[in-house]
Structure 1
């Protein structure tokens, strides 16, 4: 069992609330999303493991059990080409759960006409494997869901 933590403070919502059909339909995988607190902040590692992919707008951390979790900072934020994001870690780094990975400002993303909602997805998981889902207000590092 893997406990996936909220990567930032905000409101935990279902993936159906993500304004991108690839995420909202669960095509990337099951999980949750966070509508982040507006203002500068840091996105943290949702699990302990190795950073396998790291872009300014998204990262994948794979735990020692081989399970990967994707955190996508906002929707269509790849178009920003890194503007407004600061990497706090490097691809290949080992991180502990709750360790800051990217600094960003959801208000800047929103001001640019994009959604700052952040999908947090259990990669290669079945919907039935994601349980104990939390909805409502969360702090960075709070339990978001369990991956059975």
Structure 2
């Protein structure tokens, strides 16, 4: 079982409440989201692993078992072309849960007319593989958002 931690502090909200049909419909994968505190902060790695995808507004950490976790900082923030984001790691870096990955300002994202809500998605997972999803409660960066249970096949191969 993998524990996925919140990359930011704020209020956990279900993916269905994310103002983007792709995330709201769990088309990228199941998970949850955090409506962040409106203050400059660093988004933290939600799991131990390797940075396999990195953009100013989003990153994916792949753990040692092949589980990828996507953290997306806001909605439609790709349109900001990196403005207001400062990347602190490089693609290929190994990170531990809680390591700062990107500095950003959710209030500036909101002022630019974008939603600062942060989906945290278990890539290539089934909804049934996730337990303890945080929803409707305050979380601090580093708090548990959900647990990702391995399938029997994954457990046998580990």
TM-score range, shorter chain: over 0.9
The gaps in structure 2 that reach 5 residues or longer are: 150-158
In 1, the alpha carbon distance for the partners of 2:13 and 2:114 equals: 17
CA distance, structure 1, for counterparts of residue 7 and residue 39 of structure 2: 15
Residue 42 of structure 2 corresponds to: 42
Q: Deviations over 1:75-112 (max 9, x none)?
A: 00000010000001111000000000000000000001
Secondary structure, counterpart of 2:13 in structure 1: strand
1: CA distance, partners of 2:11 / 2:103? 18
Any stretches of 5+ residues in structure 1 without a counterpart?
none
For 1:4, the equivalent position in structure 2 comes to 4
RMSD, matched Cα: 0.5
Task: Show the counterpart of 1:80.
Answer: 80
Paired residue for 1:126? 126
Q: What is the match of residue 51 of structure 1?
A: 51
| CA shift digits 1:94-136 (9 cap, x unpaired) | 0000000000000000001100000000000001111111221
TM-score of the two chains, using structure 1 as the length reference: 0.99
TM-score when normalising by structure 2: 0.93
Query: Which residue pairs with 1:139 in the alignment?
Result: 140
In structure 1, what is the Cα distance between the partners aligned to 2:91 and 2:37? 26
Which of 1 and 2 has greater Rg? 2
Structure 1 distance, partners of 2:23, 2:62, is 19
Count of aligned residue pairs for this structure pair = 148
Name the CA distance, whole Å, in 1 between partners of 2:110 and 2:79.
Answer: 13
- Match of 1:70, SS state, is strand
Per the alignment, residue 100 of structure 1 pairs with: 100
